[in-house]
Copies of this chain bind each other. A is one copy, B any other.
Amino acid sequence: MFELLHSKVAEKISITEAEFDLCKSLFTPKKLRKKQFLLQEGEVSRYTIFVTKGLLRSYTIDDKGVEHILQFALEGWWTADMYSFFTGEPSLFNIEALEDSEALLITRPSWESLLQQIPAFERYFRILIQNSLIATQRRLMETMSETAERKYLNFIKLYPASVQRVPQHMIASYLGITRETLSRLRRELAAGKSSA
């Protein structure tokens, strides 16, 4: 249950066994069934989530009722609505399991206590968030400059594991295109690939 967290943390910072024991005590394991929610729009995001098994998605729903996926979180990934988690404001996001999953949850007070007692975690989260920011900036620039086809091709290159496990219409929603467009685009890619 905690081995994955341990190895992920140890990739970026070095901590002692005793420190990791303390760390463990601050998380609550949680099992999730497919389609179960960890957070729904309007609620305050009480937890930051580390996925140990399965696959979650975080997404918003716009005024027209269309879903927009911010993130897929597979095993070893973190997810949360950071805004709501840190401000205590109601969240605009939903976090939902796409498969039966297992996660480790940490509350805001426990998280603060973790940073205070093991300052190296300040560094760990800085690095984590930094990488996430770099990736999000990349995605933003791509969203503004690339065609639907290139966005899809980048996606399957970058997240091959997700392509296998996530339904197509959710990939479309992550890319900011409709399921129909993705479907057509895949047909053309398949047709073009063999003849080209």
Contact = CB atoms under 8 A, between A and B. Distances in A.
Consensus secondary structure, chain A interface: helix
Given A83-B138, A119-B122, A133-B136, 10 more contacts: A68-B145, A70-B141, A83-B134, A115-B123, A122-B122, A126-B126, A126-B129, A136-B136, A136-B137, A136-B140
Nearest to A63: B145
Contacts of A60: 141, 145
18 contacts: A60-B141, A68-B141, A68-B145, A70-B137, A70-B140, A82-B134, A83-B134, A119-B122, A122-B123, A122-B126, A125-B126, A126-B126, A126-B129, A129-B130, A132-B133, A133-B133, A139-B140, A140-B143
Contacts of A146: 62
B140 A140 contact: yes
Interface in A118-158: 119, 122-123, 125-126, 129-130, 132-134, 136-141, 143-146
A86 interface: yes
